[in-house]
Structure 1
Amino acid sequence: MTSSESNYSNIFQVDGIHLRIFEPNFIVLPIPENRSDSSISVEIVEIKVYLINNTPNPCHLNPNQSLIPDLLTSNGQVLQGQITLDEPVDELQRNIPPQSGFGIWLRPFVSNLAQWLKRSETRVFDPRLINSGLRIPFTLALRLIWQNNHLQLQVINSPNSLSRIFRFLDKSWFFNILQPGSYQLRFIWGNYGERESSSDPQTRETVSAVQLATQFVNLRLVEPVGANNSATQVDGIRFETLIPERLLTLPEKKRGVKTLMQLGIGITNNTSTLVRFSFFATLIPQLVEANGQLCLRSYFRRVTKRRLAYNFPLVMPGEHMSLFPYASLSWYKHDQFALTIDAGDGGYWRFEALKTATYQIHFIYNNKNATEEIYNRESMNTNLVEAIWMGMVSTPTVEFRLIKA
């Protein structure tokens, strides 16, 4: 066990600092069509990485270090990633939802800061300090695009206030000349390029990339299938974006007036065994404008629902099932409208500032748990549901148009 002494004479154990990808072990991305405008890819998958301090003392992070993606082929070959140091922040990055967990660690951090100031008025606020028991979330986006007829994977960091502290957090990484198939992805915390020495005693003894590395997750790149390439199939299970009506009339500009919208996901079990799925807060919608710009998405929850048996359906071999969560269009303000989609757990997703235009939508099925406890209304007890299909799968986008009445 190794340890380092900080400037505040506190000891932390390096093996108590962890990086972890907080997603399923299996991530599936559909490969976009190779077109002249395919650099505008709209199938984006967001993942979260947590840096966790499980030691009894605070630790410091080096501002010269950042998250570095590590991509391996199925035979273990390491692919060389490149960083876009000289490019401005991609417009896509500006629309990645803010890291909701940031406030979780910030509030106790500020509270602890007040206590430190009481003990010593000479201490200075240091946002690079992670207090004991806290975790910092980082939101990243995975995107496949075509560049010069070569398939490229981009790993895009979400810019926020942390990027002012860690200078590489607003940059994106890319891996060139990929093929359909299986890969392994992880992240390490370290310096980009050669290690830099620092005269700052608070950053000289810090966590290094050797100690900090996430687990590997399996990444599968697949060609879309089905009519109009609207489905992603993996290991015999097909996930498809469903929108029966592609031309939708906007409601009146009155409060409370809504237009119901039928959109959802279809799952076909092309295997020889029955498969169980979870639809309890596992479907994440993503809406995109015609120019490839992501529409800002918000999540709200006013009530909490119990997990019930119907949230975890079984799909028999050869069977197809469709799920259409409650979705509606309503007037927002001026000439703008909002799309609301039920999340299944008592909350809902909301896209605002919509107007008469063409949009594309797709879903991300994201289930992290193989077992769940469900509530039995008759016995008023809980039962255990097991063998739920786990993974993160992005469906291809489907286009629809909003028009005036």
Structure 2
Amino acid sequence: MCKPPKTTEMDADAAAEHWAKRALSIGLLRSVSGMVLTPVVPGILKSALGGDQARVAMYQADWIFYGSAIQLIIGPVCGAIGDGKLGRKPILVACALLQALGACAVLAAHEGLLGPLQLWSAWLLRQVATVAAMTTTSASISDAYAHDRTKIAKTAARLGGMQMGVGMLLGPALGATIASKYGPRGTGVVAILGGVLALLGQLVLVPEAGAGTRTKTEVKNPFVAPLRLFSEGAPLRYLACASLCQALCRGESAVYSPFMVDIWGAGPKGLALTMTVVGATFAASQALLVGPLVKKFGAAGALRLGYACSTLQRVIWSYYTHPGVMLVGLALGSPGFGADSIIQQLALDYHPSSTPPRGELAASFSSLGTLGVLASSKVLGGLFAWGAPLGWPGAPFAVGAAATFCAFSCASLGARAKAKTA
């Protein structure tokens, strides 16, 4: 029996899948090789600071703050460069190089060759490069599947699940295991080898996504790119509002550790177990839920369902602090873990242009997420400090429930506005 001839769409699908397998594999290697350093960096920094734990905490807080501030500048610039003639591959190669150099700096600091300020600077650049690489890879996914946008959310979820889920599970565990046997030096060597392999893989094995079909768009002022989301028509404006509301919940990360220590009485093993459960749930939900939900309900319906589940999760967390009940809440909220991946697909559908600036959109929504963290982390941390002595340690999650409900409302308004313009 003769096989039917391949169509142009089949060829595009095959090319996109070929690119995705390589890109996601390199992304996972990059994530794991970076996360192996997580257990040893605080100790190396503490030694470099002469054992001053207060200064260690200050340095770590500064990493988060200044890293977020730099991301607000670098992200839109990378998006604009990727949308232009240069393309996205040089950005990804540069990010992989910075991550490898960051691992070298950690090992050099352990050997006494770098001081705490140099280590802080190198680790800060590594963190910024990690986020820039994820944002640029997200834009590359949109390039690869420009012929079939219905597959963008599923592929983006695979990226998030591998890097944020599997990477968070394997990296720290592998780093702690190596450090227990070979010390920080062994962990640093493994991180450097992984970083170099990721750099070579990004340089040699991963081509420019959609190189033959990618439409180069006019580069506009990148520093106001997030603001342009609110001026590109009602559907995209509501989607941006939904993303910003949901991003406010990311500030809950400032509450997790004190909550588990003060309310649950968790020790190091309890904290590690909790991180494992959260990482496994995140990875599983990204891999198993996003694709089927988008296929069944459509991207807009899947996004609204995810926000509704996230609201329910936080309502439970705000009033019930038993670990088992909160685990049930986490499971109920898992459909919401893929919201960013679905937004990536919807942003292209909601943009009024037939050739939307994919890099700019990815960077702009990433910037909204960073703004959400900056705006909410200290507020939610203060709410926990206020509510815990009064018997309401879940106060930050009540605010998160209100934020995700607002996100649900904005997503619904965006879907209605899009239906009117169709």
> By percentage of residues, which structure has more helix?
2
If you compute each CA radius of gyration, which structure gives the higher value, 1 or 2? 1
Q: TM-score range by the shorter chain?
A: under 0.3
Report 1 or 2 for greater relative contact order, CA contacts < 8 Å, sequence distance ≥ 6: 2
TM-score under structure 2 length normalisation? 0.25
> By percentage of residues, which structure has more strand?
1
